[in-house]
């Protein structure tokens, strides 16, 4: 037992002496090249720091929308073309005027850029009493629609959303050039596009 204790103490002593020698070797390294570099840098003449450039005073800009060069921030960036096919003659009846008013005043929606037959209903979502239709366009983008939204190029307003179809009312011109309503629907399709 004493032999094992002496061996443990001797091994610890050997480790301590070895580490001490290694540390002493690191401390006693020659640093003359580092000292000469530091001395050379300190002997260099100091330069002058360039003065800061003068600070320009802040000039306030007051936006004037009446200015000929300014743009009204409340105007759309995209110029909307007026619809040429919506004009009616001065003697139009109330029904025709109602159609014209709806066409010209409603806000254009993303899905009005597509033909109705290129859109596919792929599902529905229900939140409390509100039913949403899920529609995929021909580019593969999925849109969420609700009653009152518009689909297709014939001003198709969504009247009702059911689990298997979306009912629409489109506004089209007849052969006499008068506006009339037409019922349409978008049926639920599977992933391959089968109705």
User: Residues with Cβ < 8 Å from 156, sequence gap 6 or more?
Assistant: 116, 150, 168, 169, 170, 184
Does the global pTM surpass 0.85? Answer: no
User: Residues with Cβ < 8 Å from 21, sequence gap 6 or more?
Assistant: none
Domains detected in the chain: 95-187 (2.30.30.830)
pLDDT in tens, the chain (195 residues): 455 555 567 777 788 888 777 776 666 567 888 889 999 998 888 888 888 889 888 888 776 655 555 566 666 666 655 554 555 444 458 888 888 888 888 888 989 999 999 999 999 988 888 889 999 998 889 999 999 999 999 999 999 999 999 999 999 988 888 889 999 999 988 755 555
């Amino acid at each position: 037992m004493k032999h094992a204790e002496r061996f443990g103490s001797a091994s610890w002593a050997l480790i301590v002496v070895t580490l001490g020698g290694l540390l002493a070797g690191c401390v006693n390294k020659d640093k003359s090249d580092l000292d000469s570099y530091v001395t050379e840098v300190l002997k260099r003449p100091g330069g002058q720091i360039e003065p800061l450039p003068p600070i320009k005073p802040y000039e306030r800009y007051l936006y004037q929308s009446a200015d000929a060069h300014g743009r009204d921030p409340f105007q759309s960036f995209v110029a909307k073309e007026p619809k040429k096919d919506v004009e009616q003659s001065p003697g139009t009846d109330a029904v025709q005027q109602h159609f014209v008013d709806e066409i010209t005043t409603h806000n254009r929606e993303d899905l009005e850029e597509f033909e109705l037959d290129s859109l596919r209903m792929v599902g529905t979502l229900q939140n409390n009493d509100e039913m949403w239709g899920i529609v995929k366009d021909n580019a593969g983008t999925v849109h969420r629609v609700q009653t009152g939204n518009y689909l297709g190029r014939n001003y198709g307003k969504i009247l009702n959303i059911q689990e298997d179809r979306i009912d629409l009312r489109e506004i089209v011109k007849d052969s006499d050039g008068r506006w009339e309503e037409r019922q349409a629907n978008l049926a639920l399709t599977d992933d391959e596009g089968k109705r």
